[in-house]
């Protein structure tokens, strides 16, 4: 069952098992606010148990591009297209959010982004491989983020 993320009244629905549940809910709401403000798109999520195709897509890109396989349990996913960009998100129980930004018509603008919820450790799969920049958010506190450019076709 899909759920439209409300960034005005932040809910932890679907994320309750996370040890950083409030920060992860804030991070998810921060993404929802971004898409509403920039694209007028309502950000909806689906339980990971109901969206294996989205998980397989993100996992394939992570494995083939960088050899990354996360041990953390995926809780929710989201997949949609705005303008010429396909976005796929996975929110993990440990507080990690992974997003794939894939332009339909420009192979130079394709990337995987990582965002860490406030209070979580850097996942061992990303340690020493990425540098994380800090970003302040009213909804999510301090978000640490990094990314890499996708070279293959997916």
Structure confidence by residue, pLDDT tens digits, 72-123: 999 999 999 999 999 999 999 999 999 999 999 988 899 999 999 999 999 9
Query: What's this model's pTM, rounded to 2 decimal places?
Result: 0.96
How does strand 85-92 pair with strand 96-103? antiparallel
Given the DSSP bridges, would you call strands 44-47 and 133-137 parallel, antiparallel or unpaired? Answer: unpaired
How far is 32 from 37, CA to CA, in rounded Å? 9
Q: How confident is the model at residue 1 (pLDDT cuts 50, 70, 90)?
A: confident
**Domain residue ranges in the chain:** 3-149
> What does the block give as tokens for 69?
């396989």
β-pairing verdict for 133-137 and 96-103: unpaired
Element (H, E) at 148: strand 141-149
DSSP string computed for 94-128: TSEEEEEEEESS-TTSEEEEEEE-TTPPPPTTTTT
């Amino acid at each position: 069952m899909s759920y439209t993320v409300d960034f005005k009244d932040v809910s932890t629905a679907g994320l309750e098992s996370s040890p950083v549940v409030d920060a992860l809910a804030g991070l998810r709401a921060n993404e929802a606010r971004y898409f509403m403000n920039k694209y007028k798109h309502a950000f909806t999520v689906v339980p990971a148990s109901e969206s294996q195709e989205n998980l397989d897509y993100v996992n394939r890109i992570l494995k083939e591009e960088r050899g990354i396989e996360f041990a953390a349990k995926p809780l929710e996913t989201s997949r949609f297209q705005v303008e010429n960009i396909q976005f796929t998100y996975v929110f993990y129980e440990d507080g990690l959010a992974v997003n794939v930004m894939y332009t339909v018509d420009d192979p130079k603008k394709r990337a995987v982004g990582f965002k860490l919820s406030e209070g979580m450790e850097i996942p061992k799969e990303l340690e020493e491989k990425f540098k994380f920049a800090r970003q302040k958010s009213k909804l999510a506190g301090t978000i640490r983020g990094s990314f890499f450019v996708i070279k293959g076709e997916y």
